[in-house]
Chains A and B, each alone.
Chain A
Amino acid sequence: MSALHLALASNVAGQAATTLLGVVEAVGGFVAILFIVFYVAGRATGRLQKPIALIICLGPALLLVAIGLVIPAITTIINSFTNQQFLGQQKFKYIGLKNYVYAFTDPATQQTILRTVLWLLIVPAVSVGAGLLVALLVDRMKHPSGPKTMVFLPTAISFVGAAVIWNYVYNYKDPSLPQTGLLSQVVMAFGWRNPPNWMLTSPLNTFLMMVILIWIQAGFAMVVLGAALKAIPEEVIESARMDGASGWRLFRTIQVPMIRGTIVVVLTTVMITTLKVFDIVFTMTNGNFSTDILARRMFSDMFVTSQVGRGSALAVILFIAVIPLVFYNVRVLRREREIR
């Protein structure tokens, strides 16, 4: 190893040590403060004891939620009615609904919104379909853990990591050279001589990126739907079998209706995720080649191209789109709990 190399290594080691020490200090400090507060407040007795305990226990959460979510959300709604361009700008005007009008009339933004709707329709449906299929299959296996874990594993992988992984599937090389992308290799083996450059070809690229998200979400769908399938009372299944229902009919007439609530919850949950995910498109194409979606556009409006007002309007549109999904979700969940 050269001297430079060594110096660099020790430099990195020093930096790492400093960073980790900071973590130990922060966590230790946080716990220590909690202990001291608990100790001091624990001396209080009598009438004051409960209010003090209440403030200590609930105060931090309420304060953080107010600073981190409530006030920012309100501010973003206000920002969406302004022509604010960058963070902390002092002079800006209220321009009414102009940002919203822009979002729905600007051709590029219109395309982005339509594309997002396409993601919303396809990804949740296919994820749930795939998850349900695997859940049904592993339900009939003696040792289901192997395939289950294999399908579930992408849940632990970041969207960025997934983008890197799929890079080796969608990679493009001139057809005369040996291929490095799996997809090109496979379609060429099937006789397609000149496969396109997948990520540059619209609208194909959008669908190929959807596959990545489906790959990640199917495991979640499988686990939740699998649990719901297991919860169907055995008597129901058995009596249906006595009546001669099996395979597809059993699935369609008994199993699906009995887990309908869960299917809806999974669908809406995946929808919400789909609406918010910006990492995949951001990493794979950065929204170029006609692949942009709402969440990525919002990010670049806010932090890259200095269009805070317009970005905020997109955020509010996303917020409004999410509300009915979440409330529907909660209603179904609550009804199911009541039944149990």
Chain B
Amino acid sequence: MTTVTSSTDVSKPLHGAEAVQAVRRRFSTPMASFFAVLIGLLWTIPTLGLFINSFRSKEDAATTGWWMFFVHPTFSLDGYHQVLTGSGGMLMPLVNSLAITIPATIIPIFIASMAGYAIAWLPFRGRDVVFFGIFALQVVPLQMALVPLQQYYVHGLRVAGVTILPSPHINGTLAQIWLSHTMFSLPLAVFLLHNFIAQLPTSVMEAARIDGASHLRIFRSIVLPLSMPAIASFSIFQFLWVWNDLLVAKVFGGSDPAMQPVTARMQNLVGNYGAHQELLAPAGFLTIVVPVIVFLALQRYFVRGLLAGSVKG
């Protein structure tokens, strides 16, 4: 966008970010570039090691360091083959991770944007209290919720022996993980989406009201489409969070390997020292490749969400 404006308004003097960039460009030093690239490489070397080891032959990876690849390179896809087709392998965990992450990203989007819309555009008594209440819940660490929540899934919600809410009977299913992630994501999601939805132009909302659109109609056909940038930011946040999560998966996923996501499977593999050592590299690479691709493709939205100010957990 910046390039478009700067090329159309050549006559105008530069302003704001562009001007800063122009100034900085003049002061750019080769030394700075050199050190930045050096640090960048340093940061990449560990990941590169995993990547290289993932397609070296079993014997080589076990007996020599990955850097020996540059001395005498060997290629072998055996590790990947084994990890993808073996019974205790990564194929089902990959599927499970997808199966956990997609609903756990989509469901909170709807629930949080509905709540954000209600708080922003349906004035009611005590809405400030509701908004700050939800926002303040970001303080509650996940760890505080785990035991009681699991108890709720198994026994329902009971106070002094009286059942207030029955158990949802989703114990031991993926739904339990979806629901947990949805609950834990809401404070951040409502906060981010509300802040965006509240800034939608009043004129559009009023025009729709005058045309006789109901509140729910406005939400569906105006708020939701216009909020796409904020939804994109939140989705990538939530996608990475859920995909990379180990704690919720371990607690609510149970120990059934058929239901484990990649993170839990990977943690098991690392824990079995020696047992499947040769599978670590390909399995590890498969664990990180999906979030890395998503991240690289949508980095822009991710940064925007990051800068909107968020504390997650």
Contact = CB atoms under 8 A, between A and B. Distances in A.
B199 interface: no
A168 B53 contact: yes
Interface string A170-195: 00000001111110010000000000
Contact of B150 (A87, A148, A282, A298): A87
A245 interface: no
Interface in B37-52: 37, 39-41, 43-47, 49-50
Contact of A273 (B62, B247, B313): B313
A185 B45 CA distance: 14
Contacts of B246: 158-160, 279, 282-283
Contact size range, A? 35 or more
A15 B258 contact: yes
Contacts of A185: 65, 67
Contacts of A97: none
A329 to B, nearest CB: 6
B64 A180 contact: yes
A146 B118 CA distance: 42
B265 to A, nearest CB: 9
Interface string A17-53: 0011011001100110010001001101100011001
A68 B212 CA distance: 37
A338 B107 CA distance: 33
Interface stretch (B4-12, B26-34, B72-80, B226-234): B26-34
Contact of A146 (B37, B45, B138, B258): B37
A106 interface: no
Contacts of A34: 110
A56 B50 contact: no
A247 B165 CA distance: 63
Interface in A279-315: 279, 282-284, 286, 295, 298-299, 302-303, 308, 311-312, 315
A65 B190 CA distance: 11
Contacts of A158: 243-246, 263, 287-288, 291
B173 to A, nearest CB: 8
Contacts of B292: 153, 156-157
A53 B214 contact: yes
A302 B147 contact: yes
A333 B186 CA distance: 20
A256 interface: no
Contacts of A31: 110
Nearest to B119: A58
A198 to B, nearest CB: 14
Contacts of B91: 12, 16
Contacts, number: 370
A161 B124 contact: no
Nearest to B27: A140
A99 B33 CA distance: 54
B270 A151 contact: no
Interface in A1-20: 5, 8-9, 12, 15-16, 19-20
A194 B53 CA distance: 25
B102 to A, nearest CB: 6
Given A67-B165, A322-B141, A42 B216 contact: yes
Interface string B272-299: 0000000011011001100110111001
B163 interface: no
B214 A27 contact: no
Given A12-B92, A58-B114, A69 B47 contact: no
B47 A326 contact: no
B112 interface: yes
Contacts of B142: 276
Contacts of A223: 303, 306-307
Contact of B118 (A9, A27, A58, A69): A58
Nearest to A321: B141
B111 interface: yes
Given A160-B287, A168-B50, A238-B23, A315 B114 contact: no
Given A5-B85, A61-B186, 10 more contacts: A54-B118, A76-B148, A137-B33, A140-B27, A158-B243, A158-B244, A185-B65, A303-B146, A312-B147, A318-B143
Interface of B: 16-17, 19-20, 23-25, 27-29, 32-33, 35-37, 39-41, 43-47, 49-50, 53, 61-68, 85, 87, 91-92, 95-96, 98-99, 102-103, 106-107, 110-112, 114-115, 117-119, 122, 124, 130, 134, 137-152, 154-155, 157, 165, 174-175, 178-180, 182-184, 186-187, 190, 214-217, 219-220, 240, 243-247, 250-251, 258, 263, 266-267, 270-271, 280-281, 283-284, 287-288, 291-292, 294-296, 299, 303, 306-307, 309, 311, 313
20 contacts: A15-B92, A15-B258, A22-B99, A27-B103, A42-B216, A53-B216, A54-B124, A61-B190, A62-B130, A64-B179, A76-B144, A144-B36, A147-B39, A150-B41, A156-B295, A160-B244, A161-B263, A168-B66, A178-B63, A234-B20
Nearest 10 interchain pairs by C-beta: A68-B183, A147-B40, A158-B244, A156-B295, A150-B40, A61-B115, A164-B284, A53-B215, A72-B148, A57-B118
Interface of A: 5, 8-9, 12, 15-16, 19-20, 22-23, 26-27, 30-31, 34, 38, 41-42, 44-45, 49-50, 53-54, 56-58, 60-62, 64-65, 67-73, 75-76, 79, 87-88, 130, 133-134, 136-142, 144, 146-161, 163-169, 177-182, 185, 215, 218-220, 223-224, 227, 230, 232, 234, 237-238, 265, 269, 272-273, 275-276, 278-279, 282-284, 286, 295, 298-299, 302-303, 308, 311-312, 315-316, 318-319, 322-323, 326-327, 329, 333
